[in-house]
Amino acid sequence: IEKLRIMEEQSLLFKACESAVKRVVVKRPIGAPPLGCLSGDVSLSNNGMNGHDVVGTKLDGDGRVRKPSYDVRGSVNRWDVYISSSSVQD
């Protein structure tokens, strides 16, 4: 079930980033991993500037998902922001 959830999150995030004009914003609990990642895969830095790196999901070795471009943190929630590659060229 965990593997299915991760695959669905990866697919949803990929499609959202693919169709976004400028950015995709995902609201997450402050301690949760980014969409499409297991909890041990990545830790977001305090300043949130993560670039367009990718991380593995550790499920089957070939699942890759983008890290958020940056994040905005509140006291309970975090907003992961994925900048569209097409908006960077503008």
Query: Which residue matches tokens 């991993």?
Result: 33
Distance between CA 45 and CA 69 in Å, rounded? 11
Sign of the alpha-carbon dihedral angle for 84, 80, 8, 3: positive
Per-residue burial over 4-23, b if 16 or more Cβ lie within 10 Å, else e, is eebeebbeebeebbeebeee
Q: Which amino acid is at 69?
A: S
Q: Tens-digit pLDDT profile for the chain (90 aa)? A: 888 989 999 999 999 999 999 999 999 999 999 988 876 555 444 443 334 454 444 444 445 678 899 999 999 999 999 998 765 555
Percent of the residues in the chain that have a pLDDT greater than 70, as a whole number: 66
Instruction: Report helix, strand or coil for 51.
Output: coil
In the prediction, which pLDDT does 44 show?
Answer: 45
